[in-house]
Amino acid sequence: METVELSTEEKMKQYFKPVDVDFIGRTIYELQEEGLYTGTMPLEVVEEGETGCYRIISHTGRTISGHCQISRKGKLFYAHRYVWGLFNGMQIPEGLQINHACDVPTCVNPLHLQLGTQADNMREKAERGRAPKGDNHSSSKITNAETLLVLVADGTQKAIGEKFGVSQMQVGDIRNGSPKAGAHRNNIHAVLNDNLPVLPRIPLEQIEYARPWAEQIASIYVK
């Protein structure tokens, strides 16, 4: 009997099952995996309507590059590499990597994941005019919206730093408006304090749900 190969779109419907709706009405999907160990955290994502990105919300840890890592069978994997392998049924060939066509490190939409080289990634970065992570500021490692999330996150500075891939000292500098944070970060801090004098406090484990809000606020107040 001939085997029918499913398209990526069909595989997405098979692998990503809707499980809930978040506080702004987006659908939360869970990646369906066989043989998960007891206690293993399922991978949950939200679909962003405008971009089509499947942004991870279940795993809050980030590398300095902004990627998520997940634990499977006692090993750590980059989530986007893991999902690409799951959908393609193969390991990533030696010398190649998985690049994001959407430029969103936390996205695991297979339609946005491309097999390529670092040279491909750098060339595409230049072609798309993609800024370094940090909203067009060469010395910044987090975006304007993430700076806002650092300011409102309810957690220890160490945990917040690990979440956003910056040091505990950098978190303190951002929150205190220290000159060490740099003029760019202090400008964000000052603008937000002027326009939003009372900032909400959001538990760190729920901070990803606030990212769309932070991006909207940053786009309005931070120029």
CA distance 214 to 2: 50
Domain boundary among 93, 128, 163: 128
CA distance 12 to 208: 22
Domain boundary among 94, 128, 162: 128
H or E, element range at 29:
strand 27-31
Same domain, 111 and 42: yes
pLDDT, tens digit (0-9, with 9 covering 90-100), for 184-212: 455 565 656 555 556 677 888 888 888 88
- Using 50 as the pLDDT threshold, list the residues of the chain that sit under it: 1-3, 131-140, 183-184
Domain boundary among 128, 163, 193: 128
- Give the pTM: 0.57
Q: Give yes or no for a contact between 185 and 173, defined as CB atoms under 8 angstroms apart.
A: yes
Same domain, 208 and 166: yes
Same domain, 13 and 50: yes
CA distance 14 to 43: 15
Same domain, 111 and 41: yes
In a domain, 110, yes or no: yes
Q: Give yes or no for a contact between 61 and 120, defined as CB atoms under 8 angstroms apart.
A: no
Sign of CA dihedral 138, 141, 145, 147: negative
Q: What is the pLDDT of residue 133?
A: 38
Domain that holds residue 197: 144-221
In a domain, 202, yes or no: yes
Q: What is the pLDDT of residue 97?
A: 93
In the chain, the number of structural domains is: 2
In a domain, 46, yes or no: yes
pLDDT, tens digit (0-9, with 9 covering 90-100), for 42-76: 899 988 777 788 989 888 776 766 788 888 888 88
Q: What is the pLDDT of residue 44?
A: 92
H or E, element range at 9:
helix 8-15
